[in-house]
Amino acid sequence: MENDNVKFKKYFWILLDILLAGIVVNLLFFVMPAIKRFGESLAPVRTITVSAEGKTFIVPDIARTSFSVVSEGVSPTTITTENNKKISAAIDFVKGKGIDSKDVQTSGYNLSPRYEYDKNKRTTFISGYTLTQTVDIKIRDFSKIAEIIGGLPSLGINQIGGLTFTVDDPEKFLTEARKEAFEKARAKASAIVSLSGARLGRVITVGESSGGFQPIYARSEAKFGLGGAADMAPLPSIEPGSQEVQLTVSITYALQ
Domains of the chain, by residue range, sit at: 1-41, 47-57+171-211+249-255, 61-168+214-239
Q: Please give the mean pLDDT across all residues of the chain.
A: 81
- Total-model pTM: 0.65
Do residues 87 and 135 lie in contact, with contact meaning Cβ atoms separated by under 8 Å?
A: yes
E strand segments, the chain:
47-58, 62-73, 104-118, 123-139, 159-160, 163-166, 200-210, 216-219, 222-223, 243-255
The CA distance from 222 to 209, in Å, is: 36
Q: What DSSP designation does 28 have?
A: I
Amino acid in the structure at residue 87: I
CA neighbor of 103 nearest in space, from 69, 65, 145, 157: 65
pLDDT in tens, 33-59: 665 665 555 554 688 899 999 988 888
In the CATH scheme, what is the code of domain 61-168+214-239?
Answer: 3.30.70.2970
Q: pLDDT tens across 99-134, in order?
A: 999 999 999 999 999 988 888 878 888 889 999 999
Closest CA to 8 of 146, 139, 199, 16: 16
201-206: average pLDDT: 90
